[in-house]
Structure formats: C-alpha cells, structure tokens
Structure 1
C-alpha cells in the first residue's frame, strides 16, 4: 500500500486540499465530518482550514442554527450541520444512561429525574434561555444536592444529568452565552429537534455511511472508536455499505475515486487543531507519521516518550498532504504561533504559519485546545516547542 497516497487521500477527503474554499460552514461539516468541540479552537480552525471561513461568519451560522453543538457519537459534543441534527442526537442518545446509572448508585431514582426534567421544561417555557445558575435558582428544591459522595462521582446535583438527558432527547439545546464556540458558558432553551424517521439500526448504518465518506478509508477499529459501538454492532452497520477492502483492515467507499487519485506534487501545509477530524476521526496517529518520525522524541516529553507512542497530540498539528510534519501552539501574549517541524521548513510552512497566526490574532484571540487550556497552563508546551525550534 502506498502510504503517501493514502495519507493524501485522507487529507483530500477531509477537504484540506482547497476543494471547499468559500463553502458554507454547514456544507463543510456535512461533507468532511462533524467538528469535535470541547470549548477550544477546533471548530473554528476546522472551518478556516477547509473553507477560509472567518469567525464572525461561523458565529452567525451558529446564531441562525445552521450549525450547532450537540451531543453526538459516544455522547461527545460535536459541531454538526442542520441536516445531521437528528442523526447526531439519535446515535448518541444512549450515552446519558451512564449518568443515570451513577445517580442510581447515589439513591436517585429515574422517576425523580423525569420529574426534574418536566420542571426544567416548564421553567424554560416557550422562549426563555437560562444558564445553569439561573435554572437552579428557579427550580429550587426540585434540584437535589448529592453531597461529597456525589461530587466524587462527578454528580454534585441532579441538574447536570437531567440537562444532558433533555439535550440528548432534543428537547432543549444549549446556546453559547456570548455566541462563541471556543468558550463554555451556556444558556439552555427549549427545542423540538427533528427526527430521522429511522430505527436505531438504520441510523447506525447512516452514521457508518457518513463516516467512511468523511474519512475516505478506515478500519473497523477506527469506526468503533468514533461511534462507540460494540464490535458486532459496528460490523453490522458496515456490512450494509458497499465498502471495498484496501488491505490491512482498511475499507473505503466503493463509489470513491481512490484508484485514480493522485497525490499533489507540491507541499500543501495546514495548521490544524490537535483534535481536527484528520487526526481524531480515526485516532491513529502512527499512520500520519513517517517511520523516522515515529521514534522522534516529543519535545518536553517524559524520558523515552516518542511521537509514535502517543494516542493524542499535546499540541496542535502541522500537516503536509496528510502527513504530520510538526507541532504548534499559540502564544496570545506575543500574538504569535510557536512552531516546530521535524525537518527544515520551506516557504509553504512559513506562509501557512503566517496565515494562521493572522487569523488567530485578529479574529479568535487564542487557540485553546479545550476549555481549561490557558496561556499559563500552556507555558511548558510553548517553552518546549521554542527550545525544539532552536
């Protein structure tokens, strides 16, 4: 198997070759995959790297509910296009049962949660948006505090689990208080989400169909990681598709143009978030690294920690036609991208760094990996990358 071609194919199917320049955010997400959202920069960088979309345009589409952050596969939050709202909710809705089971161990019966859910909907009414603090104040004693035992189990009160249940059911949605996707301050409002009209088995097939279109080629293990399905369920969903075996456990859609695809001859550089779909949809970092880079020490890492041993990156990614060639972080105090490439950096890398740096400095302000990321917590990684670059 030609690994350079396969990486470039993944990169092409992810829309990182410029095919979606100027496209609407909803189209990009529908064609290349849902963008993982954890209160960091990934949704913005996903749309900037593929379509050149500015932050204000993305925020406008969020406000218009053309795209929205929803609990989806594995119950994890993704920014999803309107056409996929129903599917995202359906394939992820069972994840909330884990919280229900935890609460049961704390003596909270489902009937109590159902009663609180009804109270939440009543308080929100037809067109109110309330943050969790305001909800707790209005709900009063309907919200039960679960003490130290609950705190240890991640359930201080009964409200968060109920809000999760209502979101998964499509009865409420959470709205960014300041309209931003890289913050985690939300209000909740009532909603009547659309339905797929499919049973769960058919919905799983639809998820598999989208997944293999987004990735271009993946294994059963990759699909299981993304979907959270068990092996038998994932195999059943994949069996309903017309997939072609590429060898090594990889399958691609039969109607794709992989055989005639040619890798771009010149470098095409993208600065991506560390949880960009190119990396996270398959979560198989080793396939994006050349063999010498697999054994390259991680800057600032523990003794013996090498790039090829990582499941996830501690930094954001620099990619050339699907190959991981470097790491980067943003220093908002200096207003600069701090970066390191595994080998000499050509003009294409410098141009991509400058382009992304300008975008972050003028439109976003920072490049947090997740909600708790901050310039202070990032300082060791910034120092490690600066030292490696020297």
Structure 2
C-alpha cells in the first residue's frame, strides 16, 4: 500500500503530466490534446472545460480550431467519441474501428445481412457531399433503402438500418459528422463526405502507438487501466506494450522509462493549484480510478462515499491532482454550486478559480452539461444534494 506522502506526490505528478500544475499552457489547443490526452465528448461540456483548465481557451477559439480541423470530435478508443488533435485523427479512427462490429452483429441478429448495410453505405455516399445533411434529410433522400427494424429493433436500440451505417462510415473516415451550430457540447449534426487521413500503420502498430501515447499521458498506470481505456483484449494489450520500455513504480503501475528520472525527483507544488474539471476529464477518465485521487471516504449526506461509486456523480474540484470537492452548474441561478470535502488550503485562490469557471460557463457555454441527456431538470437532485451538504452557490 502506497503511503500518504507518496500518493500525494503521485497525484501531483498526474496533474503535472495533464497540464494542471497551475499555469495555463500557451500551446495550441491541438498541442494540448496531443500532449495530455484526448477529451471525451458525449454532448457535454468536457472538451471546453478541458481546454479552459489547461490553457484558458475560450469557446470561440476552440470552435474555430474544430472548424479548421485542427482538432475534431471523432469515434476513437472503444468506438467512443473524443475530441482529438489532427495529428491523431487517423490513429483514433484505426484503434476504434472494431467497435462497429457490435452494431453489425446486432443488425445481423435482426435479419439484416452485411450486404444490405454495404449497399446502404454506398447509397449514403452517393447522396452526401460537401454540404451537411442531417439524419432526417438523409432518410428522406434514401427512401426505402433505409429499412425499419420494427418494434424488436426499437427495443434493442436499432430502429432503422441508417444509424449503424452512418457509424460504420464515420469509423472508416468516409463521413464526418458536423455540429449544426458549430458547438462541441450539442448533439445536432449533419454529415459531409470526408477522406480521413490514414496512419500507414498496421493494426498491431497502431495499438502500440496508442499504448505509447497513453502511458505518456497518464503514467504511471496499470495494464488494466490501459485495457479499460482501449478496450483491447488481454492479448492485444500485452502485445501493444511489449515493445515499450515501461518500468514498474509500485502497485503494478507502469511508467515510460524516459520519464522515470523526472518522476523520481518530482516535487509537488508547494502552493495549491485548483481546477474545476468535468467529471470525465482525462485526469479522471484515462484510468477511470477516481478513488485513487481522493483522501478518505468523503460523501454527501445520505449518499455512498465518493470512492464507492464507479464514476463521479458530479464534476470534481481538484488541487494538485487530488479531488477535494464537487461542483455542478445551475443555469437558472447562473451559479456554480460547489462543496468541499474539508477546508480549503487557500480559500482566496479557490474562490478566484470558482469565479473564473463560473464566468466562463455562464458567458460562453450557458451550461456545463455532463453528457447529452443532462439537463437543468435532471440535474436538480444533484444541485439540491450539494446545497444540502452546505455547498456554496
């Protein structure tokens, strides 16, 4: 079991590697994502909060970078959508491509042969061009080539053959999904033709490259952490790291050898470095091990401890890599509602960061949704729980 001081140093190191040491990064948004990890996107605010925390990027600059394809939201690891830098477009698509097999298998069980999906894909590519077409436009243009899968399909989440076909074309890089209003935190899209960049790597080489990036982003991490992030089989994950020079720093956590000397001499910052992050920020999500970032077993009254849940129920407040509190945004009050597990080491510094994040969300985002179905109404119980615990805001 790692002792408290070593765990604090380890957390501060993770924050340091994540660009959360306290100073805004002057690099471009794409550079930040390349160096600290892809930003998970599920129709929520995480991509914006990720870049605001690391480089004080405003929404307009991030949106412009997406429009210029310096970064973009694509299906990547596990087939899940992330905002990636342009340098990783091809890699992200390649390592996530196998995730579409599940949807194709479901369609096969519903009586849809692969040949029918391939024919529909060809028809989609004949219809889609440089101007975005939304799913309703596509369905109208394709007519009866889109098959309804009836009540059984709806029960299984596949009402027609079109969504899986669009997913297949996105994962292959033949189509690109375009936000209707240019926002990364909305889920209204059109589709355009695209010729995605390729990596020239074999699938084995692509898996190894993802492993190299991953342990640079968030090492020390375990092979199990990497398997969760990548969804690789045990065999493929072991093969992916086999050529990497990883060293065990204890507790089964692996670190690239080229970082070992820096890691061993690393000293946590003396002053607090507060950040209001999204619940799926890379600091938390890459390892999906938020209990390792928490001291003790804090919890809201009447709820399980924060460490007992599989994922965070609220956004975290961090200080040098340690989760020290939770927050949500109340659009009606235009306030951040936040609760600390204990006393702040520097109340003035924390208050300034809360005020900065609140202004960013209020003036530029309008809300800080966790995911696409998050809404002020669905969030009301979380806001009430934070306030009932004595939260501020």
Instruction: Say whether residues 1:285 and 2:290 are aligned partners.
Output: yes
Q: Give the structure 2 partner of residue 77 of structure 1.
A: 81
User: In 2, distance between residues paired with 1:298 and 1:307?
Assistant: 8
Instruction: Say whether residues 1:35 and 2:36 are aligned partners.
Output: no
User: In 1, distance between residues paired with 2:328 and 2:115?
Assistant: 47
Q: Give the structure 2 partner of residue 13 of structure 1.
A: 17
Instruction: Say whether residues 1:320 and 2:325 are aligned partners.
Output: no
User: In 1, distance between residues paired with 2:172 and 2:227?
Assistant: 23
4+ aligned runs moved over 4 Å, structure 1 = none
Instruction: Say whether residues 1:268 and 2:273 are aligned partners.
Output: yes
User: Is the 1:87–1:203 Cα contact (8 Å) retained in structure 2?
Assistant: yes
Q: Give the structure 2 partner of residue 378 of structure 1.
A: 379
User: Is the 1:285–1:310 Cα contact (8 Å) retained in structure 2?
Assistant: no
The C-alpha deviation readout for 1:2-58, integer Å capped at 9, x for no partner, is 101000000000011145523211001000000000000000000000011000000
Instruction: Say whether residues 1:357 and 2:358 are aligned partners.
Output: yes
Choose from 153, 176, 180 the match for 1:177: 180
Q: Which runs of 5+ in 1 are unaligned?
A: none
User: In 1, distance between residues paired with 2:37 and 2:95?
Assistant: 15
User: In 1, distance between residues paired with 2:105 and 2:85?
Assistant: 31
Instruction: Say whether residues 1:63 and 2:64 are aligned partners.
Output: no
The C-alpha deviation readout for 1:225-262, integer Å capped at 9, x for no partner, is 10001112111111110111101100011111111211
Choose from 192, 207, 218 the match for 1:204: 207
User: In 2, distance between residues paired with 1:336 and 1:22?
Assistant: 28
Secondary structure of 1:156's match?
Answer: coil
User: In 2, distance between residues paired with 1:298 and 1:240?
Assistant: 45
Q: Give the structure 2 partner of residue 118 of structure 1.
A: 122
User: In 2, distance between residues paired with 1:300 and 1:115?
Assistant: 54
User: In 2, distance between residues paired with 1:300 and 1:59?
Assistant: 40
RMSD of aligned C-alpha atoms?
1.0
Secondary structure of 2:263's match?
Answer: coil
Q: Which runs of 5+ in 2 are unaligned?
A: none
Secondary structure of 2:206's match?
Answer: helix
Q: How many residues align?
A: 383
Instruction: Say whether residues 1:195 and 2:194 are aligned partners.
Output: no
